[in-house]
Structure 1
Amino acid sequence: MRYLDVRIRQPDWMLHPMQSFIRHEDVVRYEELLTWNVQPEQGIEYELFYVEADRERYEPAIDAVDSIHWYDLTPVDDESFYIYACQEIRDIDMEWREAFVALNLLVFPPILYDTDAAMRMTVIGSSEDLQTMLDGLPDEIDVTVNEIGEFDSRHPRLAGSMTARQREAVAVAVDLGYYEVPRTGSLEAVADALDCAPSTASNHLRKAEAAVMRRLVDGCRPQRPD
Protein backbone atom coordinates (compact mmCIF):
# COMPACT_ATOMS: atom_id res chain seq x y z
CA MET A 1 0.00 0.00 0.00
CA ARG A 2 1.49 3.29 -1.14
CA TYR A 3 0.89 6.90 -0.24
CA LEU A 4 1.14 10.04 -2.31
CA ASP A 5 1.68 13.52 -0.89
CA VAL A 6 0.38 15.82 -3.63
CA ARG A 7 -0.39 19.51 -4.15
CA ILE A 8 -3.33 20.28 -6.45
CA ARG A 9 -3.80 23.82 -7.74
CA GLN A 10 -6.97 24.59 -9.68
CA PRO A 11 -7.36 27.52 -12.09
CA ASP A 12 -9.45 30.47 -10.94
CA TRP A 13 -12.54 29.47 -12.93
CA MET A 14 -12.64 26.08 -11.19
CA LEU A 15 -12.35 27.36 -7.62
CA HIS A 16 -15.07 27.18 -5.01
CA PRO A 17 -16.00 30.74 -3.93
CA MET A 18 -14.27 30.27 -0.56
CA GLN A 19 -11.12 28.98 -2.28
CA SER A 20 -11.21 32.06 -4.49
CA PHE A 21 -11.57 34.16 -1.34
CA ILE A 22 -8.46 32.49 0.11
CA ARG A 23 -6.46 33.09 -3.06
CA HIS A 24 -7.44 36.67 -3.80
CA GLU A 25 -8.10 38.22 -0.39
CA ASP A 26 -5.47 38.63 2.31
CA VAL A 27 -7.71 37.25 5.05
CA VAL A 28 -7.14 33.51 5.52
CA ARG A 29 -3.73 32.63 6.92
CA TYR A 30 -4.35 28.91 7.22
CA GLU A 31 -7.18 26.44 6.55
CA GLU A 32 -7.58 22.67 6.86
CA LEU A 33 -10.42 20.39 5.83
CA LEU A 34 -10.45 17.98 8.75
CA THR A 35 -13.19 15.56 7.71
CA TRP A 36 -16.12 15.29 5.33
CA ASN A 37 -19.19 13.24 4.42
CA VAL A 38 -20.28 13.32 0.78
CA GLN A 39 -23.85 12.24 -0.03
CA PRO A 40 -24.06 12.30 -3.84
CA GLU A 41 -27.57 10.88 -3.95
CA GLN A 42 -28.78 13.96 -2.06
CA GLY A 43 -26.37 16.32 -3.80
CA ILE A 44 -24.89 17.60 -0.54
CA GLU A 45 -21.75 17.25 1.52
CA TYR A 46 -20.91 17.97 5.16
CA GLU A 47 -17.47 19.34 5.99
CA LEU A 48 -15.48 20.38 9.05
CA PHE A 49 -12.77 23.02 8.62
CA TYR A 50 -10.19 24.53 10.95
CA VAL A 51 -9.46 28.13 9.97
CA GLU A 52 -7.07 30.87 11.02
CA ALA A 53 -8.38 34.14 9.64
CA ASP A 54 -9.94 37.52 10.35
CA ARG A 55 -13.36 36.33 11.45
CA GLU A 56 -15.06 39.67 10.77
CA ARG A 57 -14.03 39.46 7.11
CA TYR A 58 -14.42 35.68 6.75
CA GLU A 59 -18.04 35.41 7.86
CA PRO A 60 -19.50 37.83 5.26
CA ALA A 61 -17.65 35.88 2.56
CA ILE A 62 -19.10 32.52 3.59
CA ASP A 63 -22.54 34.10 4.07
CA ALA A 64 -22.47 35.13 0.41
CA VAL A 65 -21.88 31.61 -0.98
CA ASP A 66 -25.19 30.36 -2.41
CA SER A 67 -24.17 26.70 -2.42
CA ILE A 68 -23.72 26.66 1.37
CA HIS A 69 -27.03 25.69 2.99
CA TRP A 70 -25.87 26.41 6.53
CA TYR A 71 -22.77 26.54 8.68
CA ASP A 72 -21.85 26.65 12.35
CA LEU A 73 -18.80 28.64 13.47
CA THR A 74 -17.11 27.66 16.74
CA PRO A 75 -14.31 29.98 17.96
CA VAL A 76 -11.03 28.56 19.25
CA ASP A 77 -9.45 31.90 20.13
CA ASP A 78 -9.42 35.43 18.73
CA GLU A 79 -7.84 34.36 15.44
CA SER A 80 -8.94 30.77 14.83
CA PHE A 81 -12.20 28.83 14.60
CA TYR A 82 -13.93 25.72 13.28
CA ILE A 83 -16.50 25.77 10.48
CA TYR A 84 -19.02 22.93 10.23
CA ALA A 85 -20.89 23.37 6.96
CA CYS A 86 -23.48 21.73 4.75
CA GLN A 87 -23.37 22.63 1.08
CA GLU A 88 -24.48 21.53 -2.36
CA ILE A 89 -22.02 19.49 -4.40
CA ARG A 90 -21.02 21.61 -7.38
CA ASP A 91 -20.99 19.92 -10.79
CA ILE A 92 -17.51 21.27 -11.50
CA ASP A 93 -16.19 19.65 -8.30
CA MET A 94 -17.72 16.30 -9.20
CA GLU A 95 -16.00 16.44 -12.58
CA TRP A 96 -12.45 16.66 -11.24
CA ARG A 97 -13.19 14.29 -8.35
CA GLU A 98 -14.02 11.59 -10.88
CA ALA A 99 -10.28 10.88 -11.02
CA PHE A 100 -10.68 9.41 -7.49
CA VAL A 101 -14.14 7.86 -7.62
CA ALA A 102 -13.58 4.68 -9.66
CA LEU A 103 -10.31 3.79 -7.91
CA ASN A 104 -9.50 2.04 -4.64
CA LEU A 105 -8.08 5.17 -3.04
CA LEU A 106 -8.42 6.87 0.32
CA VAL A 107 -7.68 10.51 1.11
CA PHE A 108 -5.93 10.66 4.49
CA PRO A 109 -7.08 13.86 6.24
CA PRO A 110 -6.53 16.68 6.75
CA ILE A 111 -6.50 18.45 3.40
CA LEU A 112 -4.49 21.65 3.69
CA TYR A 113 -5.44 24.79 1.75
CA ASP A 114 -2.44 27.08 1.38
CA THR A 115 -2.68 30.84 0.88
CA ASP A 116 -2.90 30.25 -2.89
CA ALA A 117 -5.96 28.01 -2.29
CA ALA A 118 -4.06 24.97 -3.57
CA MET A 119 -4.90 21.71 -1.81
CA ARG A 120 -2.21 19.53 -0.28
CA MET A 121 -3.38 16.02 0.53
CA THR A 122 -2.18 12.50 1.24
CA VAL A 123 -3.76 9.80 -0.92
CA ILE A 124 -3.41 6.08 -0.11
CA GLY A 125 -3.70 3.14 -2.49
CA SER A 126 -1.77 0.98 -4.93
CA SER A 127 0.92 2.46 -7.17
CA GLU A 128 -1.23 1.74 -10.22
CA ASP A 129 -4.31 3.48 -8.82
CA LEU A 130 -2.30 6.47 -7.64
CA GLN A 131 -0.78 6.89 -11.09
CA THR A 132 -4.19 6.47 -12.73
CA MET A 133 -5.59 9.16 -10.45
CA LEU A 134 -2.81 11.58 -11.41
CA ASP A 135 -3.30 10.83 -15.10
CA GLY A 136 -7.05 11.33 -14.76
CA LEU A 137 -6.93 14.84 -13.34
CA PRO A 138 -7.90 17.55 -15.85
CA ASP A 139 -5.03 19.18 -17.71
CA GLU A 140 -6.06 22.57 -16.31
CA ILE A 141 -5.11 21.46 -12.79
CA ASP A 142 -1.49 21.98 -11.77
CA VAL A 143 -0.18 18.93 -9.90
CA THR A 144 2.98 18.72 -7.80
CA VAL A 145 3.98 15.38 -6.27
CA ASN A 146 5.84 16.14 -3.04
CA GLU A 147 6.47 12.61 -1.83
CA ILE A 148 5.56 9.01 -2.55
CA GLY A 149 6.35 5.92 -0.52
CA GLU A 150 5.15 2.92 1.44
CA PHE A 151 2.42 3.77 3.93
CA ASP A 152 2.90 2.41 7.44
CA SER A 153 1.05 4.14 10.26
CA ARG A 154 2.51 1.78 12.88
CA HIS A 155 5.87 3.51 12.71
CA PRO A 156 5.21 7.11 11.73
CA ARG A 157 7.87 9.75 11.87
CA LEU A 158 7.67 12.00 14.91
CA ALA A 159 6.68 14.83 12.60
CA GLY A 160 3.70 12.77 11.56
CA SER A 161 2.25 13.35 15.03
CA MET A 162 1.76 17.02 14.16
CA THR A 163 -0.57 18.85 11.82
CA ALA A 164 0.93 20.73 8.90
CA ARG A 165 0.42 24.04 10.72
CA GLN A 166 2.11 22.71 13.86
CA ARG A 167 5.09 21.53 11.80
CA GLU A 168 5.31 24.97 10.22
CA ALA A 169 5.23 26.62 13.65
CA VAL A 170 7.98 24.34 14.99
CA ALA A 171 10.14 24.93 11.90
CA VAL A 172 9.80 28.69 12.29
CA ALA A 173 10.55 28.45 16.02
CA VAL A 174 13.70 26.42 15.35
CA ASP A 175 14.89 28.85 12.66
CA LEU A 176 14.36 31.84 14.96
CA GLY A 177 16.19 30.30 17.92
CA TYR A 178 13.13 29.76 20.09
CA TYR A 179 14.44 26.34 21.15
CA GLU A 180 18.06 27.41 21.61
CA VAL A 181 19.61 27.27 25.10
CA PRO A 182 19.70 30.07 26.05
CA ARG A 183 16.71 31.11 23.95
CA THR A 184 17.53 33.65 21.24
CA GLY A 185 14.09 33.98 19.62
CA SER A 186 10.87 35.11 21.29
CA LEU A 187 7.35 33.79 21.00
CA GLU A 188 6.36 37.16 19.58
CA ALA A 189 8.91 36.73 16.79
CA VAL A 190 7.51 33.27 15.98
CA ALA A 191 3.97 34.71 15.93
CA ASP A 192 5.05 37.53 13.60
CA ALA A 193 6.62 35.04 11.18
CA LEU A 194 3.47 32.92 11.24
CA ASP A 195 1.26 36.00 10.92
CA CYS A 196 -0.83 35.10 13.95
CA ALA A 197 -1.32 36.14 17.56
CA PRO A 198 1.27 35.03 20.16
CA SER A 199 -1.47 33.00 21.90
CA THR A 200 -2.14 31.12 18.64
CA ALA A 201 1.58 30.50 18.04
CA SER A 202 1.95 29.26 21.61
CA ASN A 203 -1.03 26.93 21.12
CA HIS A 204 0.53 25.42 17.98
CA LEU A 205 3.89 24.89 19.67
CA ARG A 206 2.43 23.37 22.83
CA LYS A 207 0.25 20.95 20.85
CA ALA A 208 3.20 19.98 18.66
CA GLU A 209 5.43 19.42 21.68
CA ALA A 210 2.76 17.34 23.41
CA ALA A 211 2.20 15.20 20.30
CA VAL A 212 5.90 14.53 19.80
CA MET A 213 6.60 13.77 23.47
CA ARG A 214 3.62 11.42 23.63
CA ARG A 215 4.77 9.59 20.48
CA LEU A 216 8.36 9.44 21.74
CA VAL A 217 7.38 8.03 25.12
CA ASP A 218 4.99 5.51 23.58
CA GLY A 219 7.73 4.37 21.21
CA CYS A 220 10.21 3.85 24.05
CA ARG A 221 7.80 2.27 26.54
CA PRO A 222 8.65 -1.37 27.21
CA GLN A 223 6.14 -3.86 25.86
CA ARG A 224 4.07 -5.62 28.47
CA PRO A 225 3.95 -9.40 28.25
CA ASP A 226 0.65 -10.93 27.19
Structure 2
Amino acid sequence: MHQFLVEDNSIRRAYLRHWNFSNPDYVAALLHVVGTADGRREEYVTRLDAVDTVSEYSVTPVDDRSFYVYIREAARGFASQLRALLDGTDLLLVPPIEYGSDGEVTIEVAGDQDALQSLVADLPDELSVSVSRLGEYDAYRESRASALTARQREVLDVARERGYYETPRQTTVREIADEVDCSKSTAADHLRKAEARVMSLLDDHPMMP
Protein backbone atom coordinates (compact mmCIF):
# COMPACT_ATOMS: atom_id res chain seq x y z
CA MET A 1 0.00 0.00 0.00
CA HIS A 2 2.94 2.32 0.52
CA GLN A 3 3.86 1.70 -3.11
CA PHE A 4 0.35 2.85 -4.02
CA LEU A 5 1.05 6.16 -2.26
CA VAL A 6 4.21 6.55 -4.32
CA GLU A 7 2.44 5.76 -7.60
CA ASP A 8 -0.83 7.68 -7.05
CA ASN A 9 -0.45 11.46 -6.88
CA SER A 10 -3.87 11.87 -5.29
CA ILE A 11 -2.75 10.27 -2.01
CA ARG A 12 -0.48 12.60 -0.07
CA ARG A 13 0.50 10.45 2.92
CA ALA A 14 -0.69 7.82 5.37
CA TYR A 15 -0.25 7.75 9.14
CA LEU A 16 -0.12 4.49 11.06
CA ARG A 17 -1.86 5.73 14.19
CA HIS A 18 -2.16 2.58 16.28
CA TRP A 19 -1.23 -1.09 16.00
CA ASN A 20 -1.36 -4.35 17.92
CA PHE A 21 1.41 -6.96 17.55
CA SER A 22 0.21 -9.18 20.42
CA ASN A 23 -1.06 -12.00 18.19
CA PRO A 24 1.78 -13.92 16.50
CA ASP A 25 -0.40 -14.72 13.46
CA TYR A 26 -1.70 -11.29 12.48
CA VAL A 27 -1.35 -7.55 13.04
CA ALA A 28 -4.22 -5.13 13.65
CA ALA A 29 -3.57 -1.54 12.58
CA LEU A 30 -5.37 1.78 12.23
CA LEU A 31 -4.24 4.14 9.47
CA HIS A 32 -5.23 7.69 8.60
CA VAL A 33 -4.92 8.22 4.84
CA VAL A 34 -4.80 11.80 3.53
CA GLY A 35 -5.48 12.53 -0.13
CA THR A 36 -5.73 15.56 -2.37
CA ALA A 37 -9.00 14.97 -4.19
CA ASP A 38 -12.44 13.51 -3.60
CA GLY A 39 -13.17 10.07 -4.94
CA ARG A 40 -9.73 8.51 -4.47
CA ARG A 41 -10.91 6.40 -1.55
CA GLU A 42 -12.33 3.87 -4.01
CA GLU A 43 -8.96 3.47 -5.77
CA TYR A 44 -7.24 2.92 -2.43
CA VAL A 45 -9.80 0.29 -1.40
CA THR A 46 -9.47 -1.45 -4.78
CA ARG A 47 -5.72 -1.75 -4.29
CA LEU A 48 -6.26 -2.91 -0.70
CA ASP A 49 -8.53 -5.70 -1.96
CA ALA A 50 -5.60 -7.02 -3.99
CA VAL A 51 -3.29 -7.42 -0.98
CA ASP A 52 -3.39 -11.13 -0.18
CA THR A 53 -2.06 -10.70 3.38
CA VAL A 54 -5.05 -8.55 4.41
CA SER A 55 -7.83 -10.70 5.87
CA GLU A 56 -10.28 -7.89 6.68
CA TYR A 57 -10.54 -4.12 6.75
CA SER A 58 -12.98 -1.33 7.48
CA VAL A 59 -12.95 2.19 6.00
CA THR A 60 -14.35 5.22 7.85
CA PRO A 61 -14.49 8.60 6.06
CA VAL A 62 -13.16 11.64 7.93
CA ASP A 63 -13.93 14.23 5.25
CA ASP A 64 -13.79 14.41 1.45
CA ARG A 65 -10.01 14.14 1.49
CA SER A 66 -9.11 11.70 4.25
CA PHE A 67 -10.29 8.48 5.84
CA TYR A 68 -9.40 5.90 8.48
CA VAL A 69 -8.62 2.30 7.59
CA TYR A 70 -8.71 -0.47 10.20
CA ILE A 71 -6.74 -3.45 8.86
CA ARG A 72 -6.18 -6.98 10.06
CA GLU A 73 -3.18 -8.41 8.22
CA ALA A 74 -1.06 -11.56 8.38
CA ALA A 75 2.00 -10.96 10.55
CA ARG A 76 4.72 -11.28 7.96
CA GLY A 77 6.75 -8.87 5.91
CA PHE A 78 7.36 -5.42 7.40
CA ALA A 79 5.31 -6.10 10.54
CA SER A 80 7.17 -9.28 11.45
CA GLN A 81 10.53 -7.62 10.75
CA LEU A 82 9.62 -4.69 12.96
CA ARG A 83 8.50 -6.98 15.77
CA ALA A 84 11.73 -9.01 15.48
CA LEU A 85 13.86 -5.85 15.65
CA LEU A 86 12.09 -4.67 18.82
CA ASP A 87 12.19 -8.09 20.47
CA GLY A 88 14.45 -8.02 23.52
CA THR A 89 14.70 -4.22 23.62
CA ASP A 90 13.00 -1.57 25.73
CA LEU A 91 12.54 0.76 22.77
CA LEU A 92 9.13 2.30 22.10
CA LEU A 93 7.69 3.24 18.73
CA VAL A 94 5.88 6.55 19.15
CA PRO A 95 2.76 6.90 16.96
CA PRO A 96 2.18 7.87 14.27
CA ILE A 97 4.46 6.17 11.77
CA GLU A 98 4.27 8.29 8.61
CA TYR A 99 4.33 6.86 5.08
CA GLY A 100 5.22 9.56 2.56
CA SER A 101 4.49 9.74 -1.16
CA ASP A 102 8.26 9.91 -1.76
CA GLY A 103 8.70 6.35 -0.50
CA GLU A 104 10.07 7.34 2.90
CA VAL A 105 8.83 6.05 6.24
CA THR A 106 9.24 8.36 9.25
CA ILE A 107 9.42 6.61 12.62
CA GLU A 108 9.94 8.15 16.05
CA VAL A 109 11.60 5.91 18.63
CA ALA A 110 11.91 6.53 22.37
CA GLY A 111 14.47 4.80 24.54
CA ASP A 112 18.15 4.33 25.26
CA GLN A 113 20.53 5.76 22.66
CA ASP A 114 22.74 2.64 22.53
CA ALA A 115 19.67 0.44 21.95
CA LEU A 116 18.56 2.77 19.17
CA GLN A 117 21.96 2.54 17.51
CA SER A 118 21.77 -1.26 17.67
CA LEU A 119 18.29 -1.14 16.12
CA VAL A 120 19.52 0.96 13.20
CA ALA A 121 22.52 -1.33 12.72
CA ASP A 122 20.26 -4.40 12.53
CA LEU A 123 17.99 -3.01 9.82
CA PRO A 124 18.05 -4.83 6.46
CA ASP A 125 20.77 -3.70 4.07
CA GLU A 126 18.22 -2.66 1.43
CA LEU A 127 16.88 0.08 3.72
CA SER A 128 18.53 3.49 3.71
CA VAL A 129 18.28 5.14 7.12
CA SER A 130 18.82 8.73 8.22
CA VAL A 131 18.36 10.19 11.71
CA SER A 132 16.63 13.56 11.50
CA ARG A 133 16.38 14.48 15.18
CA LEU A 134 17.81 13.43 18.55
CA GLY A 135 16.69 14.82 21.90
CA GLU A 136 14.29 14.60 24.76
CA TYR A 137 10.78 13.35 24.06
CA ASP A 138 8.30 16.17 23.41
CA ALA A 139 4.66 15.09 23.80
CA TYR A 140 3.43 18.55 22.81
CA ARG A 141 4.57 18.22 19.19
CA GLU A 142 1.83 15.66 18.52
CA SER A 143 -0.74 17.52 20.62
CA ARG A 144 -0.15 20.67 18.58
CA ALA A 145 -0.73 18.75 15.35
CA SER A 146 -3.83 16.94 16.60
CA ALA A 147 -5.35 20.23 17.76
CA LEU A 148 -5.81 21.26 14.11
CA THR A 149 -8.66 20.19 11.89
CA ALA A 150 -7.79 17.80 9.07
CA ARG A 151 -8.18 20.61 6.51
CA GLN A 152 -6.03 23.03 8.52
CA ARG A 153 -3.34 20.39 8.87
CA GLU A 154 -3.45 19.67 5.13
CA VAL A 155 -3.03 23.34 4.19
CA LEU A 156 -0.29 23.79 6.77
CA ASP A 157 1.52 20.68 5.50
CA VAL A 158 1.44 21.97 1.92
CA ALA A 159 2.70 25.37 3.07
CA ARG A 160 5.64 23.77 4.84
CA GLU A 161 6.42 21.38 1.99
CA ARG A 162 6.36 24.21 -0.57
CA GLY A 163 8.63 26.48 1.48
CA TYR A 164 6.05 29.03 2.60
CA TYR A 165 7.90 29.47 5.89
CA GLU A 166 11.37 29.59 4.35
CA THR A 167 13.39 32.79 4.02
CA PRO A 168 12.97 33.94 1.33
CA ARG A 169 9.48 32.50 0.89
CA GLN A 170 9.35 29.82 -1.82
CA THR A 171 5.61 29.83 -2.55
CA THR A 172 2.49 31.96 -2.26
CA VAL A 173 -0.93 31.55 -0.69
CA ARG A 174 -2.38 31.38 -4.21
CA GLU A 175 -0.13 28.42 -5.09
CA ILE A 176 -1.04 26.69 -1.82
CA ALA A 177 -4.72 27.24 -2.58
CA ASP A 178 -4.32 25.72 -6.05
CA GLU A 179 -2.56 22.69 -4.53
CA VAL A 180 -5.37 21.95 -2.07
CA ASP A 181 -8.15 23.00 -4.48
CA CYS A 182 -9.70 25.94 -2.66
CA SER A 183 -9.88 29.71 -2.99
CA LYS A 184 -7.00 31.96 -1.98
CA SER A 185 -9.05 33.50 0.83
CA THR A 186 -10.00 30.06 2.19
CA ALA A 187 -6.37 28.91 2.17
CA ALA A 188 -5.31 32.10 3.93
CA ASP A 189 -8.03 31.59 6.54
CA HIS A 190 -6.91 27.99 7.17
CA LEU A 191 -3.30 29.12 7.56
CA ARG A 192 -4.22 31.95 9.90
CA LYS A 193 -6.33 29.70 12.15
CA ALA A 194 -3.72 26.92 12.15
CA GLU A 195 -0.93 29.33 13.03
CA ALA A 196 -3.04 30.92 15.76
CA ARG A 197 -3.86 27.52 17.25
CA VAL A 198 -0.24 26.40 17.28
CA MET A 199 0.86 29.68 18.86
CA SER A 200 -1.82 29.41 21.54
CA LEU A 201 -0.59 25.94 22.44
CA LEU A 202 2.96 27.24 22.66
CA ASP A 203 1.69 29.88 25.08
CA ASP A 204 0.01 27.13 27.14
CA HIS A 205 3.24 25.08 27.21
CA PRO A 206 6.15 27.54 26.86
CA MET A 207 9.61 26.29 25.93
CA MET A 208 12.00 25.91 28.84
CA PRO A 209 15.10 28.16 28.71
Q: TM-score range by the shorter chain?
A: 0.7 to 0.9
Query: What fraction of aligned residue pairs are identical, expressed as a percent?
Result: 34
Q: Which residue of 2 aligns with 1:224?
A: none
RMSD: 3.4
Q: Which residue of 1 aligns with 2:182?
A: 198
- When residues 80 and 215 of structure 1 are mapped into structure 2, their CA distance, relative to the original with a 3 A threshold, is same
Paired residues for 1:146-185 under 5 Å: 146-153=132-139, 156=140, 161-162=144-145, 168-171=157-160, 175=164, 185=172
Paired residues for 1:30-69 under 5 Å: 30-41=13-24, 43-53=25-35, 54-69=40-55
Structure 1 unaligned blocks of 5 or more:
1-17, 178-183, 221-226
Per the TM alignment, residue 92 of structure 1 is displaced from its structure 2 partner at its CA by 5.5
Instruction: Confirm or deny: 8 A CA contact 2:54 2:73 kept in the other structure.
Output: yes
Instruction: Confirm or deny: 8 A CA contact 2:5 2:11 kept in the other structure.
Output: yes
Cα distance in 2, alignment partners of residues 128 and 205 from structure 1: 40
If asked which structure has higher relative contact order (CA below 8 Å, sep 6+), I would say: 1
Using structure 1 for the length normalisation, give the TM-score: 0.69
Paired residues for 1:77-226 under 5 Å: 77-91=63-77, 93-153=79-139, 156=140, 161-162=144-145, 168-171=157-160, 175=164, 185-186=172-173, 189-192=175-178, 195-198=179-182, 205=191, 208-209=194-195, 211-219=197-205
Using structure 2 for the length normalisation, give the TM-score: 0.74
- When residues 152 and 213 of structure 1 are mapped into structure 2, their CA distance, relative to the original with a 3 A threshold, is closer
The structure with the greater share of residues assigned to strand is: 1
Per the TM alignment, residue 160 of structure 1 is displaced from its structure 2 partner at its CA by 6.6
Per the TM alignment, residue 218 of structure 1 is displaced from its structure 2 partner at its CA by 2.1
Structure 2 unaligned blocks of 5 or more:
147-152
Instruction: Confirm or deny: 8 A CA contact 2:155 2:180 kept in the other structure.
Output: no
Count of aligned positions = 191
